[in-house]
Amino acid sequence: MSIRLHAFTCGWLTGSLGNFLAGERGRIRVPVPCFLVVHPRGTALFDTGLHAGMQRDPAERLGSLAPSWKVEFAPGEEVAGRLGEVDLAPARVDFIVLSHLHFDHAGGIAQIPNARLVVQEAEWQAGRDPDLVRANFYDPRDYDLGHEILVARGEHDLFGDGSVLCLPTPGHTPGHQSLRVRLPKAEIILTADACYLRRTLDQLELPAFAHDREQMRASLLRLRALEKAGARLFFGHDPEQWGSMPQAPRAIL
């Protein structure tokens, strides 16, 4: 059996375009992606989308962020529902690789009971520091649920064969990471919020929010170099690119 990659849409968010590209006006509607890697040695989600509670009461989960986001999130679109489309029980997911701890990436952890969380050390430490929790708009209810934690310090080879590699891309948050997946026909990099949109990369336009702008710029330059070397980048919240993404149960490539 070879490695497979699936894309799931776990809701949509509409907010100010300036949140994605500083200084821009208007609004943008963006997908909330998560991905599943099926590898002969195990299964791994890359991010988990929104918390299922947002289907009933988004404001309760969003708190101070509620005025910033309109949430579209129907029953069945939560990560557990999406896993059903590929006949995988949530309890059988081995790993959740977390790009970072924001609500639209960590919200679905609660539905995946037995997975080990794979998170960069700087991110996990920030998620347990009250000042950094506030500064980064984290919600510990999303991730502080007693899962076993695999703390990564730099690049981490998930299955030991180089096919699924955590790549630190800090700046958006203290310990943000992207994921490189080597498929038979292509090398894919799931950038998550290290790069929201194609425009972010092409124009080096940073979003309004970034934990460390210099670090984020350096991570973008690294992603640019990887793309130039032949990798295909899947951006964190790009509605145009997402429109052409094969959705589960189809696999990518």
Interface residue list for Zn ion (CB under 5 A): 102, 193
CB of 221 to Zn ion, least distance (A): 19
Q: In this structure, what are the phi and psi dihedrals at residue 4, rounded to the nearest 5 degrees?
A: -130, 150
Give the residue among 75, 73, 82, 1 at the shortest CA–CA distance from 45. 82
Would you state the structure tokens that stand for residue 252, as one six-digit string?
């990518």
Contact 247, 1 (CB under 8 A): no
CB of 134 to Zn ion, least distance (A): 15
CB nearer to Zn ion: give 19 or 111: 19
CB nearer to Zn ion: give 4 or 102: 102
Question: In sequence order, what are the residues at sequence separation of 6 or more whose Cβ sits closer than 8 angstroms to the Cβ of residue 191?
Answer: 169, 178, 223, 233, 234, 235, 236
Tally the C-alpha atoms within 13 A of residue 71's C-alpha that lie toward its C-beta: 25
Contact 176, 192 (CB under 8 A): yes
The Cβ of residue 60 has, within 10 Å, a number of other Cβ atoms equal to 11
CB of 102 to Zn ion, least distance (A): 4
CB nearer to Zn ion: give 20 or 163: 20
Contact 70, 50 (CB under 8 A): no
> How do strand 116-120 and strand 95-97 relate by DSSP bridges?
parallel
CB nearer to Zn ion: give 47 or 88: 47
CB of 136 to Zn ion, least distance (A): 9
Pairs from 63-67 (Cβ < 8 Å, separation ≥ 24): 63/139, 64/137, 65/103, 65/137
CB nearer to Zn ion: give 3 or 152: 152
CB of 103 to Zn ion, least distance (A): 8
CB of 56 to Zn ion, least distance (A): 23
CB nearer to Zn ion: give 5 or 106: 106
